């Protein structure tokens, strides 16, 4: 019954967010919905794959975005994992409050021109970009990056964000593959934002993963915290909308890791 209520589109006005005051070394993570996050330090605000759309072509958003664009803080950095419309949403990007730097995989930069970025950075897999005292690295994934059917020149991946001694990993879209072990060895992330939805039928697992494989990724990474994403916002596949988090909790309970899985409520910052 709880999930039935959560999956019903909310009505009325958004509550204006109260962003936490952070001391150095603390990070606040707000799930906006789908694969979209606001990550905040005391001196840096990052958006990852921002998507505030109510519709993606014929797909209606099941739950509205956890934040309104006009309620965002100033954005210093935007990370875009690949060019698919649910992750690289141009209408959302156009409305962002003057994003200064956009970081994305190779071959995606032309899509970002004219969207308000002060600087566009394209990375090859395992390439890093540093600015001031933060660093971001493009990590491998098992997915694809085309914007259109005949568009085969664009990259894709996840991101490792490092700042103030913290390491936050966003996997982007990916199926399970052995590359996650290499990411764990090379990057040793502390907080892992991992996709758990769009896995049924099983043929979808060629490019996505379910909670079972996502938990294996968490183990491969050796991360301390698992924050699930890519579920409950758009119906992209045929599993029940409430199935991914429910299954994830069952797996985590069996493995004795339930206290390390944080299922966030959209629009509510959580401090780590």
Q: Which CATH number do you get for residue 229? A: 3.60.15.10
Over 70: is that where the pLDDT of 8 sits? no
The answer to the question of residue 178 being in a domain is: yes
- Sign of the dihedral through C-alpha 14, 42, 35, 53: positive
Over 60: is that where the pLDDT of 34 sits? yes
pLDDT of residue 4: 38
Indicate the average pLDDT of the chain.
91
pTM of the model: 0.92
Check if the beta carbon of residue 155 is closer than 8 Å to that of residue 145: yes
Secondary structure E strands in 1-127: 28-33, 36-40, 45-48, 55-56, 59-60, 77-79, 101-105, 119-123
The answer to the question of residue 9 being in a domain is: no
Q: Where are the alpha helices (DSSP H) in 154-230?
A: 179-187, 211-221
The answer to the question of residue 163 being in a domain is: yes
The answer to the question of residue 8 being in a domain is: no
Element at 5 (helix H, strand E): helix 2-6
Over 90: is that where the pLDDT of 208 sits? no
pLDDT of residue 11: 41
How far is the C-alpha of 213 from the C-alpha of 107, rounded, in Å? 29
The answer to the question of residue 19 being in a domain is: no
Lowest mean pLDDT, pick from 155-169, 183-197, 233-247: 233-247
The answer to the question of residue 17 being in a domain is: no
pLDDT classification of 13: cutoffs 50, 70, 90: low
pLDDT classification of 1: cutoffs 50, 70, 90: very low
How far is the C-alpha of 115 from the C-alpha of 205, rounded, in Å? 32
Domain holding 216, by residue range, is 26-271
The answer to the question of residue 15 being in a domain is: no
Over 80: is that where the pLDDT of 61 sits? yes
Helix (H, G, I), strand (E, B) or coil at 128: strand
Over 60: is that where the pLDDT of 109 sits? yes
Question: Average pLDDT, stretch 86-91?
Answer: 92
How far is the C-alpha of 230 from the C-alpha of 217, rounded, in Å? 15
Task: Report how many domains make up the chain.
Answer: 1
The answer to the question of residue 13 being in a domain is: no
Return the structure tokens found at 71: 């309620």
Question: Average pLDDT, stretch 65-71?
Answer: 95
Exposed / middle / buried, residue 178 (Cβ in 10 Å: 0-12, 13-18, 19+): exposed
Nearest to 177 by CA among 140, 152, 144: 140
């Amino acid at each position: 019954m709880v999930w039935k209520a959560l999956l019903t589109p909310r009505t009325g006005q958004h509550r204006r967010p109260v962003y936490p005051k952070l001391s150095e070394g603390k990070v606040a993570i707000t799930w906006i919905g789908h694969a979209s996050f606001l990550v905040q330090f005391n001196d840096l605000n990052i958006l990852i794959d921002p998507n505030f759309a109510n519709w993606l072509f014929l797909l209606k958003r099941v739950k509205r975005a956890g934040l309104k664009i006009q309620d965002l803080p100033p954005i210093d950095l935007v990370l875009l994992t690949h060019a698919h419309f649910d992750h690289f949403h141009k209408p959302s990007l156009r409305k962002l409050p003057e994003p200064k730097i956009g970081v994305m995989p190779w071959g995606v930069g032309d899509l970002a021109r004219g969207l308000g970025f002060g600087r566009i950075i394209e990375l090859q897999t395992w390439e890093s970009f540093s600015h001031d005292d933060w660093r971001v690295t493009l990590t491998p994934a098992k997915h694809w990056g085309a914007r259109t059917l005949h568009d085969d020149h664009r990259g894709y991946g996840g991101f490792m964000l490092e700042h103030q001694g913290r390491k936050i990993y966003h996997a982007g879209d990916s199926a399970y593959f052995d590359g996650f072990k290499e990411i764990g060895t090379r990057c040793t992330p502390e907080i892992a934002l991992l996709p758990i939805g769009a896995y049924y039928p099983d043929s979808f697992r060629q490019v996505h993963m379910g909670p079972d494989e996502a938990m294996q990724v968490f183990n491969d990474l050796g991360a301390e915290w698992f924050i699930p994403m890519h579920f409950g916002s758009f119906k992209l596949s045929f599993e029940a909308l409430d199935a991914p988090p429910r299954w994830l909790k069952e797996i985590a309970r069996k493995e004795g890791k339930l206290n390390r899985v944080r299922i966030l409520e959209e629009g509510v910052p959580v401090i780590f």
